[in-house]
Structure 1
């Protein structure tokens, strides 16, 4: 049985976010990149998260810290609230190590350079 994608698209993972994470395809929208980044947290792919962070803001992100946060939490679901061309508001629901439920609510900004979308920042 094929696993559904972590991003909540209802597509199979191999037909949704996996090609982006593997580098065989590029997300065509900021929302697709954001969804693939959520999936990358779910499967602990810190390299993808760093690679898809804009080069000008990448220095603010530490691969070990990203990986630690990804591994230490159990990711439950993603809810996209609003998406425009270069902004995505979302909620990521997860359980921490003590099994306490949390919601990470973020307004993210993305930038496209050439054929590549990048995460710039979130608040």
Structure 2
């Protein structure tokens, strides 16, 4: 079995390959997102261009995308959630993390991809980077119970 790089668990020839080859259209925004990730892995750059909405191709760098995709190690796609993007919808959003390694190191590309359906075909419009959430630190007061679970006050236990 040649597992699809999109992480669906299906065989590539039954999953993303027909979409990338133009034999089938993606039924949902998530299907298109998965196919676009697989296209990066398989260096199918023409599909990436063709599946980008024409109004959003202005800054597309065909050659640069090809070089980057070919020189990266792809470590997986995680779909975190979708908003709309079903077959009956006209637009959708897919939040995902794509993991890859390039010459600069290991990356977790966390994005909310926007999609629009035109003439029955889903197209990628733009990606909005998701910033990491700041670490939250719970401040323990001197007289609060100790976080270690001893039952003593923090100042008399781990806060010494």
Question: Is TM (by shorter chain) over 0.5?
Answer: yes
1:88 alignment counterpart: 94
More helix by percentage: 1
Spell out structure 1 runs of 4+ moving beyond 3 A: none
RMSD after superposition: 1.0
Greater relative contact order (CA < 8 Å, ≥ 6 in sequence) = 1
1:101 aligns with 2:100: no
2:63 alignment counterpart: 64
Cα distance in 2, alignment partners of residues 97 and 17 from structure 1: 27
1:20 aligns with 2:19: yes
Extract unaligned runs of 5+ from structure 2: 85-91, 129-160
Q: CA deviation at 1:97?
A: 2.9
Cα distance in 1, alignment partners of residues 111 and 51 from structure 2: 17
Cα distance in 2, alignment partners of residues 68 and 106 from structure 1: 21
Q: CA deviation at 1:69?
A: 1.5
Q: How many pairs align?
A: 121
Q: CA deviation at 1:27?
A: 0.2
2:28 alignment counterpart: 29
Q: CA deviation at 1:35?
A: 0.3
Extract unaligned runs of 5+ from structure 1: none
The structure with the largest alpha-carbon Rg is: 2
TM-score if structure 2 supplies the norm length?
0.73
2:4 alignment counterpart: 5
Secondary structure of the residue that 2:55 maps to in structure 1?
coil
